[in-house]
Structure formats: C-alpha cells, structure tokens
Amino acid sequence: MIKYLIAKGKKSELWKAYLLIVVGSFLTAASINVFMVPYKIAPGGVSGIATVIYYISNEKLSVGIIMLMLNVPLFALGFKFIGRKFIVRTFVSTILLSVFIDTLEPYTRYFVENYLVKLEHSPSVPDLLLYSIFGGFIMGAGLGLVFRAGATTGGSDLAARVVNHFVPNLTMGQIIMIIDTSVIIFAAVSFNSFHLAMYAIVTLYISSKVIDAVLEGVNFAKSVLIISDKSDEIAVKIMEELDRGVTSLRGKGMYTGDDKKVLLCVLHRGQLQHLKELVISLDKNSFIILTDIREVLGEGFKTYE
C-alpha cells in the first residue's frame, strides 16, 4: 500500500511537471510570436538568433524550425554531460516550443495585423517599449513555469550548462550573460539598429525578474529583527496583537559588551505598520531591521508542497 501511494505521488508530480512545461512553452511561444519576431526584438538566446536568421532568409525559414536546428547540437553535447531527467524534460519543452511557435504563427500574425496594430494611434510607429515590457513579462512567466518543472527551453541555459562543464571557472549566470549579450549585439548589427538592441535588453531584464518571481515567489512578507531592552514585553505584544510567532536570538553589543535578546519575527506586509507602532510605544530606543522575503513556508504562510 505504501509503495502504491509513493508511486502514485511520483506519477502525480510527473504529470504536474509536464503540465507546467506545456503551459510555459505555450506562453513563451505566444510572447515570441506576438511581441518579439514581428518587431525584430531579439532578447538573446536561440530565439534571438532565430529571429535574425528568419529575417536574413527573407522569412523563408520558420522561427520554430530554426530554433530546433540550433538546439540539436546542444542536445548532442548536453546528453553526454547533463543528467537524463533534465535533458529529457528539456527536449520535450524545446520540441513543444518550436511546434507552438510555428503552429500559432498564422493566428498570432492575424492578431497582430488586425487587432494589435489597430490599437496604435500611429500604426507605422508601434510602441516598441510597451511591446518589450509585455513581451518580457509573458516570456518570463512562461520560462519560469518551465524552469519550475526542472527543464529549460534549450538555448542559452542548455549552452551554459555545456560550457560550464568545460569552463567551471565561469558561473552559469556569467555564461548566460555573455551568450545573451553576444546575441543582442549580433541582432543590433544585423538589423542596423541600436534602438532595437536597447528594447531587447529591456525585454531580457523584465523576463529575468519575472522568472525569479515565478521560481522564488513575489515579495509578500517581511522579516523583522528587533533589538531592545524590553524584548520580553515586545514579544508578548506581538504574539497577542499580531498573532505572529517570535524567536529570541542571543546577541551581544560589541561596544558595550552587554548581552542582548534579538527578536526575529516574520509577518505579512499589511502588519508592518502595526508592528512598528507597537514596538515604538514600548521602547522608543529600540532598533528595528526590516528585510524583504521572497517566500515563507510554514504555519501562517505558504504550506509545504
């Protein structure tokens, strides 16, 4: 029975992972088709190179096919140096992304030409900044879901893993930055437009922030450290009035040499002002340190998955 439940749980997790890959690949494809390719915005990676080649070939080669062709050699190397689980899921997401891009292209082209362009006051001068922002947001959301499933869509991330195997002195982040920067410069030269490169950087920056938010959670909580001579009174009030747990840490003032109790409390942002007023009312000389928290797991916050 226990083995059956474990197997069932693993199967459920597998289905969830592949569902995230499908949804994430779809959102990424929609972003590329609607906001990136039509306006020659190439925010790094294989999709950026594919966008350039697409226009160089006078639109004879589809973006999805180009991306697939560029990823094949990466998979050949990645299969040897990267874990099987990761490479299989990445292979699935890469295939799905290319299929979604080419399958959705007629529909997204129709949407862009008949709806998106008509929203502009001057169709001949589209608002590329707005497209860069929304494109980066949707792309980041899609890629974040794929990453949460333990996969990537190939491109820079897969190339970075391969390069990192041969050049361990460079971190994954540094390698990805070098690759994406090179692609943006390549696109700027190919399209003879420095402005398009700047829009691509905007898209890349926003997508990276959204990816972090999807993977780590948005800033919804605050961590508070309180140093006071009335720590016991403050702790009781926090637990009674705010219904939040408090942890006492041992501290020592290095100037005075006095032992101090340092209170640690995690609370929702909406409770922050109440906590400040509560602490100050008990001890005006207290010292309060506030920090943002990405994600909190446990009672009163997010449950463990």
Q: What is the pLDDT of residues 94-103, one digit of tens each?
A: 999 999 999 9
Q: What is the pLDDT of residues 229-249, one digit of tens each?
A: 899 999 999 998 888 889 999
Query: 297 in helix, strand or coil?
Result: strand
The predicted pLDDT at position 3 comes to 47
What value does the mean pLDDT take over residues 169-179? 78
pLDDT-based confidence at 107, cuts 50/70/90?
Answer: confident
pLDDT-based confidence at 176, cuts 50/70/90?
Answer: confident
Q: What's the mean pLDDT when you consider all of the chain?
A: 84
The predicted pLDDT at position 173 comes to 65
CB 217 within 8 A of CB 294: yes
Name the range with the highest mean pLDDT among 13-17, 59-63, 199-203, 238-242: 199-203
* pTM score: 0.75
More confident residue, 116 or 121: 116
More confident residue, 282 or 60: 282
Going from the N-terminus, what domains does the chain have, and what CATH number goes with each? 2-216 (no CATH), 221-293 (3.30.70.120)
DSSP 184-247: HHHHHHHHT-HHHHHHHHHHHHHHHHHHHHHHH--S-EEEEEEE-TTHHHHHHHIIIII----E
Give how far the C-alpha of residue 142 lies from the chain's centroid of Cα atoms, to the nearest Å.
9
189 C-beta neighbours (distance < 10 Å), count: 12
* Range name among 16-25, 107-116, 220-229 with the lowest pLDDT average: 107-116
Q: What is the pLDDT of residues 42-75, one digit of tens each?
A: 988 899 999 999 999 988 889 999 999 998 888 8
| 175, pLDDT greater than 50 | yes
What value does the mean pLDDT take over residues 132-158? 88
CA distances to 45, 55, 152 from 94, rounded to whole Å, are 13, 21, 8
| 297, pLDDT greater than 80 | no
CA distances to 49, 150, 214, 268 from 145, rounded to whole Å, are 23, 9, 7, 25
Integer-rounded Cα Rg, in Å, for the chain is 25
The predicted pLDDT at position 304 comes to 53
The predicted pLDDT at position 4 comes to 40
Strands 247-252 and 287-293: unpaired
* Range name among 6-10, 12-16, 69-73 with the lowest pLDDT average: 6-10
> CA 286, CA 137: separation in Å to the nearest integer?
41
User: Which percentage of the chain shows pLDDT scores above 70?
Assistant: 86
